[in-house]
Structure 1
């Protein structure tokens, strides 16, 4: 069983993502909180679009959304980046459409 880390433990930052509490370790607590806020907002946006209550599915879809954004700004050439982003958007649209139909 995983050991529970008490809130306010030195070296850890406590954040809430999609109504779950996480105690994360890192050098910049403000940066960790900003990232957690970004992930939380993406998960809530994905959840608002679909009808799934499965937090794992919401997390995967949010990760795809974030990967799409990152791929647009990564070192790949523009053509490759646009193709990858289009593919990820298509995958996300298919999953969301399936959720709407089965929801």
Structure 2
């Protein structure tokens, strides 16, 4: 690809998340790597528990899990957070099902 950023480009940190390579820009490369490792491990845990191989769905479910963890830490009502996550999961299922039908 013409827009591909070469590895080891100054100012960018190369990470791997769910077997995909990303070149991310940020001020703290170690923090970026830690976050990438967290996202990668969460995606792998979601994939291991589910039946889906759709990486987008795995990513969204991992994001919902992480958002739930953040909301619990930040004091947001846990029941409200879980209900919202469940609602979003159902919406995602509907969108993915529609995509499969229209192919």
Q: Normalized against structure 1, the TM-score is what? A: 0.74
Equivalent residue number for residue 22 of structure 1: 22
Preserved CA contact (<8 Å) 2:71 2:78: no
Preserved CA contact (<8 Å) 1:51 1:99: no
Q: After superposition, what is the alpha-carbon deviation per residue over 1:33-84, rounded to whole angstroms, capped at 9, x for unaligned?
A: 0000000000000000011111000000000000000000115467766776
Higher relative contact order (CA 8 A, sep 6+): 1
Q: Which moved more, 1:86-95 or 1:22-31?
A: 86-95
3-state SS in 2 of match to 1:8:
coil
Preserved CA contact (<8 Å) 2:68 2:78: no
**Structure 1 residues 41, 72: CA separation in 2 closer, same or farther (over 3 Å shift)?**
same
CA RMSD for the aligned pairs? 4.3
**Structure 1 residues 74, 85: CA separation in 2 closer, same or farther (over 3 Å shift)?**
farther
Preserved CA contact (<8 Å) 1:47 1:53: yes
Partners of 1:29 and 1:52 in 2: CA distance: 31
Q: Which runs of 5+ in 2 are unaligned?
A: none
Preserved CA contact (<8 Å) 2:14 2:23: yes
3-state SS in 2 of match to 1:24:
strand
Aligned length: 103
Report 1:35-46 matches (<5 A).
35-46=35-46
